[in-house]
Structure formats: C-alpha cells, structure tokens
Chain A
Amino acid sequence: MDILLSAIEVLSRWDVAIALLVGSIGGVAIGAIPGVGPAVAIAILLPATFSMDPIVGLTVLLGIYGSSMFGGAIPAILINTPGTAVNALTTYDGYPMTLRGEGRRALSLAYSASFFGGIFSVICLIALSPLLARVAPMFGSREIFLAALLGIILVIVAHRGQMLMATALTGFGIFLSTVGLEPVKYTRRFTFDQTWLASGVNLIVVVLGLFALSQALVLLTMDDEKVRLTKSRGSLFQGFRELARHPRVATVSAGFGVFMGMIPGVGEFTAQFMSYTSARKMSKTPEAFGQGSAEGLIASETANNAVPAAAMIPLLALGIPGEALTAMMLSVFYVHNVVPGPGLFLYQMDFVVALYLALLLLNVLVVIFLLISTGWLVYLTKIPNRFLGMCILLLSFVGVYSIRNSAVDCAIAAVFGLIGYVLKRLNLPIVPIVLGMVLGGIMEVKLRASMNRVNTPFDFIDRPIAFVIFALIVVILLGTFWRVWRDWVPTDRRSLARKSSDRFARRIAGRKTRHFEIKTKQQRRRRSYDHMGS
C-alpha cells in the first residue's frame, strides 16, 4: 500500500503529468503521420530526456511508444497506409470497411481494441510483478548472459528468410559495441589510433543515424503521394459496444500480445500475425477476414497494443531489451544511474509501480484524446513525404548535436544514416544492429563476471534458471536447424532464359514421351492383331 501511495505521489508531480500528456498526444500525432513512427521520434527525443528525471523521461518515451500504435491505425484504416509498421495488418480489414463507408466504425473498433490490449497488458504486468520480484533476484551474471544470448538468438530466428543477414548484422552491432577502450584493462580496440574512436561508438548516435536520418533520406529521395480521404459514417463510440460482443477474440489476441511482448526479439509482428490467424480459426465467418471483418481488426489492434507494456518486463526485470525501442529506453536508465534488473524490484519498487500506473493512465488519456481529435488528426496524413523528410532532418540534428555538441558525432550519424538507407532499400533489417550493440555490451560484461566463478563448463548451467535458459537455447537452435534442413532447396543458378528454355524442353519431351507411348501401344496392339490374325 505504501508503495502504491508513493507511486501515486510520483505521478501527481506536475512534470510527470505534463510528460504523460505530451507523450500520449505526441505519440498519437507521430503515429498518424505515415513515414515517421515511434522509433524515429524516440531516437530524436532521447538526448532531450537525459536532462529530465528518469521517471519523466521514461514517461515521455513510453507515452510515444504506447500511443503511436493508436495513431497508426488512422492512416491504416482511412488511406490504406499503416502509420507505423505494426499497423500493417490493420489495413487488411480497416480499409475495406472505409471503402464501404464505415471508416468511423473501423476507427472506433481500432481505438477500443487498442485500449483493451493496452489495459490488459498493464494488468498482466501488475499481476506478474510479485512473481518477477521473486524470480528477478535469482538472475546472476550467468543467467543474464544466457538471457541476453537467448535474446540475440531469438532476434536472428525471428527474421525468417533473412537469418544469415540478421546474424551478420547482429555481429556488426556486437563489433560496434567493442570499439574503443575495453572495460577491464583499458586497452584500445579497433580505434586505428584515432582519438575520437577511443570513447567508442555512441549508441544514441548509431540509433539516430539508423532510424531517424535514414528515414529522412528515404523520404527526401521518394516521390510525394496524393492522399484522398473518403467520407465515412458511424459513431466513434460504437466500437466499444462492438468489442464487448467479441470478448474471446479480444482476450486471446491480448494474450498473444503479452506473451510475445515478453519474449525478447519477437515483438508486435509475430503477436499480431498469430492473433489474426487464431481469430480467423475461431471465427464463424472466416471468409470475411481481409474483406472488412470486425474480428480481424480487433485481433490485429489488440495484439500490437498489448506488446509495449509486456516488452517492459525483460527490460525492468533483467535489464535486457527485447527490441529496438526498449533498447533505446535502456540508455535513459544508464544515463541516470538507474540499473534495470533485479535490484530495481528490490530497492525501487515505487519507481516500477509508478511506471505501471503511468502506462495505465496513458491508455485512458490517448483514447479520450483520439475521441476528441480524430477529425483533425486525419489531415496529418496529407503532409507531403519530402517535406516530412526535411522536418526529420532538422530534428535529427537536434538529437545528435545535443549529445556532445560534436560535429564528429553528426558525421558518424550521417554515415549510419546512409547505411540505414541502403539497408531499407534492400529490405534488410536494421533492428539486429541496435540489439547486437546493446546485448553485445551486456554479454561481454556478464560473461567475464560469471567466468570468475566457473571452473568447468558444466558449472555454468548448474543453477536451475541457467539450466532452463540453456535448454531453451538448445531447443530453439535445434528446432531452427531442423526447419532449415527440412525446407532446404538447392540454389537454382540458371539464368531466366536458361530456365524457360529448360521448361519448354521438358514440355516438348513430355509430348514426345506421350507420343511415343501412344505409338508403342498402337504398334503392340497391331502386332497382337497381326498375331491373332495370322
């Protein structure tokens, strides 16, 4: 009770209240503009939050993270363009509803489903807290090392079809985290005798380059799109009544969101695809999915909004970020000397509870704001891409330059902006670089610490949690290798012309074979007739 009261006291501070309001409103607006997204916004705002209290800074960032997906549903439903990447499935059922003139109904359904997903996950987070508080102290150096290793493996495995590239880019991230002075003997690593490399490559600079600057470059080099808004009817409140008619879909989808959010490296995409598939299986009208089904819309929006709160679980309990956005938030903890992990639950529980309550309030604020402002938020989708690129470029400068007032940092960010641009053009993932950087640093420190108490390799997994995580790693690796081996198809290196020529030859050969078979049969028959006749 004392903890709850002190958490409420923290939240009633004016700066925290403003942070909540700014985070929620800002997040919705950012989500509603296609091409920006929470990663860009958080990367830009990150250095500005370093001068704030940890609870204020984290509330702003969490606000943006949690509410951007609410806002992202607006362009996904009205103009068939997801505001954030995780709203992609919302377009499947949201846009067909808009085409039928039911845009406001679809928006209302999306808001209510998102609200349900958000509240459900915060309640799960609160319910799991006592368990987390008991389990988290059992995590020593080797358990945290193994959990970080599990996180890296899951990030790679989650990029199905691009696993080799994800591995290489994770390696690149780990390499970046090793540049500079190493933490024990202070020897230089890959500094090439350059003084500016001695302090290492700053995570925020890399994040700003890879997310914000690269997005600005993508927008600046693309053409503007013409956005046409259609008229829609219905009430923005009817979705809440309609959601009550599908409690099973909403609960199962939120469950998927919470479960997937807790697992590092998996995140919103897997959660919403799994919830969408299960909702279609459970539905009495599966044929309506993709044609404007209310259940489909509920499934995708509930699942992706249940993830942010759940993604905070590994971050708060173990200090291990599961995806890029929580990795960025980790730096806020580090800057303020707040060490996320077991100690947080033991000594700063009021801080943790304040974060939970902030998340709860955030969802309420966002829904109220959306019900009032949807009418004008729609016009944000009309901002031209290239103009938006100019705005992001200007804001990126503030983000990078304000860290250390260093032109070198800006140049490094520009280089990573170009790398991000190339990766985006090639449709390759960026997140493994950031997670490799963050988790690589954690793994190095924790492995070194744990090796001091290990005599034989088996000592590493002689504790129950370490053994469970190790077993999980082995199962995931074996499963992945088996799946790759089962689906293995040898690379076809023939040119397109050669391939079509071979195909044509096979068809001709088939005809020939059939032709000869018929001829042979006729000859046999003739022979037998001859024989009979003779």
Chain B
Amino acid sequence: MAGQAVFILGALGLSLLLLSQITTQTVWIEDAKSFPAQPRFWPGVAIAMMVTSFGLHLLLMRRRRPDRLDWVEARRWLEPLEYVLWFMAYVFLVPVAGFLPMSLIFACALTWRLGYRDAGYFWVAALFAVCTVALFKGLLGVKIPGAAVYDALPGTLRSFFILYL
C-alpha cells in the first residue's frame, strides 16, 4: 500500500529514538523487590515490542525504499492539518469569546469553507451549534469555563451566560 514504507520507517525511527532514551528517561532502582517492579521494565517491554515488530515488518516488506507514490501519499497526510488548525483556533478562542458565540462562528465558517453555500446548510450548522451548547453545557453541565467577554454583560445575564452558555 502506498505510503506504508514512509510510515514504517518513521515509526521505526521514533521507536529507536525512544529506545536510545530509555536510560535517561527511566530510572533503575537498586532495592526493587523484583525485576518487573523496576520502573524501566514496562517501557522496555513496550519499546522492545515496537522496535522488533516495526523492524520485522520493514524486513519483510516487498519494497523498503519509499518511491514517488509513497511520498504522494505522505503529502496527503498533511491535508487535514488545515482542519487541525481550525480546531486549535476554536480551542483558544472559546475562553475569550465564549462557547456559544464561538460554536456559532466555527460551525458557520467551516460550513462556508467546506463549500456549502446554500442558506439551509448555514441554518442547520447554527442550529447544531446552539443544540450542542444547550445539551452539553446547559443540560449536562460539562465543565467549559465562561468567556472573558461575558464580564462585560450586566449582573444576572452575566451569571446566566457563564453558567449555561
């Protein structure tokens, strides 16, 4: 499968890097009750599993050196980075602008970015954002803090926004 050689080489490289760090990132206790009680034992087992399996897989692969198609596939792995940035921007803006306003903006803006220009999609996206906020923060009371902009609101409205929106 295209891209597998790149993935395996990367994963094996990472495993070897972790293996090289095992003596500095874990400690060896002299008075440990047994060998499995050593803090180094389980990371060692895990990394040994990774190095051996990735190594054997690479050894048994028909084509070990990545070719052009592998790199084309590897470039495709970078495509979702744009949406990861959208996600992280949303994460950083919620404590500033508020869960409800940011959810509305995020849902509608991403709908536009995805190429849906019909008004119906924007209404559905906005409704979905409102329902998500109402269900999770309003009803289920999940822990999402109130926003900095809510401080500008008058007394009762402010506490309502902080608690439910």
Binding site for B on A (CB under 8 A): 47-48, 51, 164-165, 167-168, 170-172, 174-175, 177-178, 182, 184-185, 187-192, 213, 216-217, 220-221, 384, 386-387, 389-391, 393-398, 401-402, 405, 407, 410-411, 414, 417-418, 421-422, 425-428, 436, 440, 443-444, 447-448, 451-452, 454, 491-493
Contacts and interface: CB of A to CB of B under 8 A. Distances in A.
Given A182-B39, A397-B90, A398-B144, A171 B132 contact: no
A174 B45 contact: yes
A257 B25 CA distance: 44
Nearest to B74: A422
A171 B49 contact: yes
A178 B47 CA distance: 11
Contact of A187 (B27, B125, B129): B27
A434 B37 CA distance: 23
A170 B49 contact: yes
Contacts of A426: 1, 3-4, 7
Contacts of B62: 491-493
A255 to B, nearest CB: 35
Given A213-B87, A418-B77, A171 B46 contact: yes
B119 interface: no
Interface string B33-74: 110110110110111111011101100111100000000010
A109 to B, nearest CB: 33
6 contacts: A185-B27, A217-B84, A220-B80, A386-B114, A418-B77, A427-B1
B83 A220 contact: yes
Interface in B136-157: 136, 140-145
Contact of A185 (B18, B39, B49, B145): B39
Given A390-B107, A414-B84, A174 B49 contact: yes
Contacts of B90: 394, 397
A410 B106 CA distance: 16
Contacts of B128: 391, 394
Given A407-B91, A422-B7, A454-B34, 16 more contacts: A48-B142, A167-B49, A171-B47, A171-B49, A185-B27, A189-B40, A190-B26, A394-B107, A394-B129, A397-B91, A410-B88, A417-B84, A418-B84, A444-B42, A451-B33, A491-B61
A448 B36 contact: yes
Band of interface residues on B: 35 or more
B54 A168 contact: yes
B132 to A, nearest CB: 6
Residue among B87, B129, B144 with most chain A CB within 10 A:
B87
A411 B87 CA distance: 9
Contacts of B84: 217, 414, 417-418
Contacts of A492: 62
Contacts of A422: 3, 7, 77
B162 to A, nearest CB: 14
B123 interface: no
Q: Is the interface of B mostly helix, strand, loop or mixed?
A: helix
Contacts of B3: 422, 425-426
Contacts of B83: 216-217, 220-221, 389, 393
Contacts of A51: 140-142
Given A178-B46, A394-B106, A405 B39 contact: no
A396 B49 contact: no
Given A187-B26, A451-B37, A401 B53 contact: no
Contacts of A447: 36
Nearest to B28: A187
A434 to B, nearest CB: 14
Residue among B15, B50, B116 with most chain A CB within 10 A:
B50
Given A170-B49, A394-B103, A451 B43 contact: no
A414 B81 CA distance: 9
Contact of B36 (A164, A414, A451): A451
Nearest to A494: B62
Contact of A171 (B50, B79, B106): B50
B16 interface: no
A394 B81 CA distance: 16
Contacts of A448: 34, 36-37
A51 to B, nearest CB: 6
A164 B11 CA distance: 13
B129 A164 contact: no
